Each structure stands twice: as C-alpha cells, then as structure tokens.
C-alpha cells in the first residue's frame, strides 16, 4: 500500500519540479530583461558614440604635394640667349681637277637658346621635410631648346660667280648656313654661362612656386650642369 502511495505521488512531484524549473527560467529571463532595459540607454549611447565618432584628421604628404605642384611647371625656362650670326658658305663646280665656278652665299641668322630645368625629373627623394624646413633639390640645368628665327633671318648675298658658272645650290647652302649658325649661337650661349644663369634664376622661381608650404622655411639646392650639356647639341 505504501508503494502504491509513493507511485501516486510521483506525478505531483514531477509537476512541482517542472513548475519550479519553468518559473526559474522565466525569472532569469525577466532579470536579464530588466538588466538590459536599465542599461539600454547606456548601450545605445555607447553605440551612438562609436558610430558617430569624429574621423581622425587627414594626413597630407607634403613631399607629394610639392612634387605635384612643381611638376606642373614641366620644363621651366629661366634664361634665354639671343644672338645674331653671320655665316658664309660656298660650293665649287669642278670639272676634272679644274674649278670652273664657285657659288657663295652669305646668311645672317638670328638664333635663340633657352635654358632651364626639367621639373618633370623631380623625384620624391629630392624633397626633404622636417618640422620647420623644406629642402628641395632641383635637377641639373640644361639647354631646353635652340632654334633659328627664320622670320628674322635672311640671305644677305648669293653669288654664282663669273658668268654665273657656279652651281645653283642656294637652298642647300642656306640649310648648311642655318646649321652652322645654330652651332655657333649655342656655343656662344654656353660660353656666356647661360646654364649657370638658368640655375640661379630657377632657384628664385621655384621658391616662389612653393607658396603651398608657407609655414616652413624653404631651402632650394641646385646641381651643376653636366659636362656635356652643351657639347652634345
């Protein structure tokens, strides 16, 4: 009989245990919910501050800015040499070993030589930036262009000699005179230290171009021209 009573009491026990377990789970959920509700404002505030945080200040690579600004100037002409040259040319007409006639041409040429620095050759390592200083090393100066002003130049005299027996080679002699005149004018420009003058003036011009970094002291370094800067022309 006692065993039967025990068996009859088991469903009630299980039911009570189930109720306790369910009640405990509900209570835990309620406690967690109350905790979340109490801290909800703080969590939302933290999330808002995280999402709305001000971005860090942008960093500017001063060296790249300087290089880009200076390169925009490309080939910077800082010195110009202008000269007039008188060039005589001639060509013989020979039959066998005898000169039958001679043609002479006298050409007056006006030439121009431009010198400066090619800023497109600047590299990032040519710019050194410290707290208060900015140092820039320029490329070596060189002759950027040399030409004959054909509008101002002219043939001063053209003579085919006695009885006009000299060869009719006016265009050929004029072209030869222009080539020789250009060599002569370029050589005179180099002897006049055109490249050194271009270097000195490039230093002044580039200093003015670097207005983007006014808060730093600008130091411009120049390089000497290569030994064959003129001889290769």
pLDDT value at 172 more than 60: yes
Start-to-end CA distance of the chain, whole Å, equals 129
pLDDT tens-digit map of 11-49: 454 444 444 445 554 444 444 454 544 555 565 565 555
**Model pLDDT, residue 40:** 54
171-208 burial, b at 16+ Cβ within 10 Å, e below that, comes to: eebbebbbebbbebbbeebbeeebbbbbbebbbeebee
d(CA 191, CA 194): 7
Instruction: Classify the phi-psi angles of 223: left when phi > 0, otherwise alpha if psi is within -120 to 50, otherwise beta.
Output: beta
**Model pLDDT, residue 28:** 46
pLDDT tens-digit map of 219-232: 889 999 888 877 64
d(CA 118, CA 143): 10
Choice between 148 and 55, residue whose per-residue pLDDT is larger:
148
Q: How confident is the model at residue 173 (pLDDT cuts 50, 70, 90)?
A: very high
Choice between 70 and 145, residue whose per-residue pLDDT is larger:
145
pTM: 0.64
Rank 3-12, 18-27, 201-210, 212-221 by mean pLDDT and report only the highest. Answer: 201-210
Q: How confident is the model at residue 204 (pLDDT cuts 50, 70, 90)?
A: confident
pLDDT value at 2 more than 70: no
47: three-class secondary structure by DSSP: helix
**Residues of the chain above pLDDT 90, percent:** 37
Average confidence (pLDDT) over 115-124: 87
């Amino acid at each position: 009989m006692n065993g039967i009573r025990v068996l009859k009491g088991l469903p009630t026990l299980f039911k009570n245990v189930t109720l306790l377990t369910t009640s405990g789970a509900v209570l835990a959920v309620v406690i967690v919910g109350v905790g979340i509700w109490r801290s909800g404002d703080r969590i939302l505030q933290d999330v808002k501050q995280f999402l709305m945080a001000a971005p860090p200040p942008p960093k500017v690579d001063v060296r790249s800015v300087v290089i880009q600004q200076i390169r925009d100037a490309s080939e910077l002409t800082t010195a110009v040499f202008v000269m007039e040259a008188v060039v005589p040319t001639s060509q013989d007409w020979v039959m066998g070993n005898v000169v039958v006639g001679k043609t002479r041409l006298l050409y007056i040429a006006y030439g121009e030589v431009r010198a400066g620095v090619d800023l497109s050759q600047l590299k990032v390592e040519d710019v050194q930036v410290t707290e208060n200083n900015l140092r820039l090393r320029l490329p070596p100066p060189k002759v950027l262009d040399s030409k004959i002003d054909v509008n101002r130049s002219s043939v001063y005299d053209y003579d085919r000699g006695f009885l006009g027996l000299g060869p009719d080679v006016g265009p050929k002699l004029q072209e030869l005179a222009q080539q020789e005149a250009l060599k002569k004018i370029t050589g005179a420009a180099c002897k006049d230290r055109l490249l050194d003058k271009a270097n000195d003036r490039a230093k002044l011009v580039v200093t003015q171009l670097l207005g983007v970094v006014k808060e730093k002291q600008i130091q411009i370094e120049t390089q000497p021209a290569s030994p064959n800067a003129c001889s290769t022309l």
